[in-house]
């Protein structure tokens, strides 16, 4: 009887180990794809008047800034600087949300890491899911 119970426990443990290994392999394979998607990612925002266009990468770094020629006539220098700054901020904010969703899609569902990536709340890393 004890051997049968031990065998059942071993089979259950082996099944769980196989499941965890499968999750790890899927996660590892997904990381290469995620790396590619993040390297190709960009987010673009346009000012309300359409005279400023800012593009940022996955890290929120400015990679492209386009100023329409009429932007210099439509705005005084300090106004134009404010419009440029706001447009870059909009692109960065949009990028952050999209990157969070993208990264979270590659993490195990219900994991503290997935919650942290979505919320930015450090406490999410400490929560236990059961």
| 71: CATH | 3.30.1310.10
Query: What is the pTM for the complete model shown?
Result: 0.69
Whether residue 72 lies inside any domain: the answer is yes
Whether residue 121 lies inside any domain: the answer is yes
Cα dihedral 82, 87, 91, 96, rounded to 10, equals 30
pLDDT by residue (tens digit) across 108-117? 766 777 667 6
- Helix or strand or coil: residue 60? coil
CA–CA separation, 82 and 77 (whole Å): 9
Q: What is the pLDDT of residue 73?
A: 96
Whether residue 130 lies inside any domain: the answer is no
Count of structural domains, the chain? 1
- Below-50 pLDDT ranges, the chain: 130
Domain that holds residue 29: 2-125
């Amino acid at each position: 009887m004890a051997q049968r119970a031990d065998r059942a426990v071993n089979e259950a443990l082996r099944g769980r180990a196989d499941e965890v290994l499968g999750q790890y392999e899927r996660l590892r394979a997904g990381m290469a794809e995620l790396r590619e998607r993040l390297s190709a990612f960009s987010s673009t925002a346009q000012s309300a008047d359409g005279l400023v266009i800012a593009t940022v990468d996955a890290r929120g770094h400015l990679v492209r800034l386009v100023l329409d020629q009429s932007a210099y006539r439509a705005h005084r220098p300090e106004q134009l600087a404010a419009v440029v700054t706001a447009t870059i901020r909009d692109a960065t904010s949009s990028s952050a949300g999209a990157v969070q969703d993208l990264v979270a899609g590659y993490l195990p569902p219900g994991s503290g890491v997935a919650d942290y990536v979505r919320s930015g709340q450090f406490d999410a890393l400490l929560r236990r899911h059961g």
